[in-house]
Amino acid sequence: MEFSVNKNLLSQTASIVQRAAATRDTVPGLSGMLITAEEDKLILQATDLDMGIKKIIQPVNVTHEGSVLVNAKYFTDLVRYLSDAEVTISLDETNNKLNVVNGLSSSFLNLYNPDDFPEMPLDKVTFIKSMPQSLLKNFIRKTVIAAAVTHFKPVFTGILFDFSDDFFTMVASDTHRLAIIKSDQIRSENMNKQYIIPVRILNDIARILEDNDSEINIGLADNHIVFYTPEMDLSCSSRLIEGQYPNYVQVIPSNFVNTFLIDSERLTQSLERAALLPFDPKLIQYVKMSFTPDELVISAYSEKMGEMTEIITDLECQNESSVELNFNTRYLLDVVKLLNSESKNIQIGLSGPLSPAVIKNPSDENYTYVLVPLRTG
């Protein structure tokens, strides 16, 4: 095998594919990147069995076709620090090493056995739906904040993709908060299917997706969900989480004691200052929020550093009811910062001091964030 390719293009592609390689000492093939040169293209693949990524570079000057399996992390790091000159890569069959030449730089890398690389389920995909990459990227960004990192119920470490006749809906929850976003522009006729996809994989996919309206397809292959471009020059697969996702509709309050409209920039700044107070890592950092028709008083306390109080008068409300409750500071700040980037005001619907609150962009009915208040002593 021998080929020459633009260094920046190779580095960019390797960085994307390397995300799917195993990072811990395991089966060598799972920490490797399969590099295949054929005709005028280069195919890079990696998988840890839970996630797989395949990306094609074309056109490439291929002198001799072939495949090698090299350590994904080291190969990616090496290419990243090469000069911008063209890179020539060839297989030294006598010593079973990969020769990487870049200007006056030359490196020989040890290889794994290509037979150790598992087959990826990318060639037998059943198409489900396509959508703009920017839309999927935005949907992921707005839901991953609510998913659990670890949980005794694996479904909460994933994001639900819910396809119905009327809406495409994505849902995430760690049982303390819930994020739901939907689109009536993405319809799947004659389909009523749900898939739960690990949040870790979706975080990586969001970094790969483009901020434009080019299409990304979603398909199914065995027990894997696959995201791929129509040209198949990029494919990302993920093992699905098995289980039944709870009924998320029933946890969204429909009746409120009062609903407040608050200046989003002012609220963001107040919560960011509150989050600066150090707290006992064994405890949950929280803010006390006292809502009245005239003002919102935000209080935070730190046994180590002191306390703070912020008063926001830039607000509107639907009635004269007052509500006092406590929120996890980070959980509230996550959604407030997100909505502050797109709206001048944030709408907070309160259903009681211990009942879930609904936080929204008042001009966007498609996104809802539900946050459960804290019980504190």
The tens-digit pLDDT sequence of the chain (377 residues) is: 999 999 999 999 999 999 999 987 678 889 999 999 999 999 999 999 889 999 999 999 999 999 999 999 999 999 999 999 899 999 999 999 999 999 899 999 999 999 999 988 777 888 888 999 999 999 999 999 999 999 999 999 999 999 876 789 999 999 999 999 999 877 655 566 899 999 989 999 999 999 999 999 999 988 899 999 998 899 999 999 999 999 999 999 999 999 999 999 999 999 999 999 988 888 899 999 999 999 999 999 988 888 999 999 989 999 999 999 999 999 999 999 999 999 999 999 999 999 999 999 999 999 999 999 998 76
Report whether 69 contacts 33 (CB < 8 A): yes
Question: Percent helix, strand and coil across the chain, each rounded to 5?
Answer: 25, 40, 35
- What is the pLDDT, as a whole number, of residue 304? 84
Q: How far is the C-alpha of 124 from the C-alpha of 103, rounded, in Å?
A: 41
Distance CA 122, CA 224 (A): 9
Q: Are strands 224-228 and 323-328 parallel, antiparallel or unpaired?
A: unpaired
| pLDDT of res. 193 | 87
Backbone Cα Rg of the chain: 25
**Dihedral over Cα of 351, 357, 361, 365: its sign:** negative
Q: Strand 2-5 and strand 87-92: pairing?
A: antiparallel
353 upstream amide cis, omega within 30 of 0: no
pLDDT at residue 228 in the model = 94
**Residue matched to tokens 């898939």:** 195
pLDDT of residue 187: 65
pLDDT for position 232: 86
Choose among 78, 123, 251, 233: nearest CA to 178: 251
| Residues 37/132, Cβ–Cβ less than 8 Å | no
What are the Cα distances from residue 348, in Å, to 120, 232, 287, 343? 45, 43, 15, 13
pTM (2 decimals)?
0.90
H or E segment to which residue 362 belongs: none
Amino acid 162: pLDDT: 92
Neighbours of 302 (CB within 10 A): 15
The two three-digit tokens of residue 321, written as one number = 């009811």
Q: Which domains does the chain have, with CATH numbers?
A: 2-116 (3.10.150.10), 128-249 (3.10.150.10), 252-371 (3.10.150.10)
CA dihedral 91, 93, 94, 99 (to 10 degrees): 10
Chain centroid to CA 6: how far? Answer: 29
Cα separation of 225 and 316, whole Å? 44
Are the C-beta atoms of 204 and 51 separated by less than 8 Å? yes
Beta bridge partner(s), residue 264? none
Contact assessment for residue 14 and residue 89, using Cβ atoms and an 8 Å cutoff: no
352: left (phi over 0), alpha (psi -120 to 50) or beta: left
CB-CB contact of 309 with 254 (8 Å): no
Write out the H or E segment, with its range, that includes residue 175: none
What are the tens digits of pLDDT across the range 189-200?
Answer: 556 689 999 998
Question: What is the DSSP secondary structure assignment for residue 372, as one 8-state letter?
Answer: P
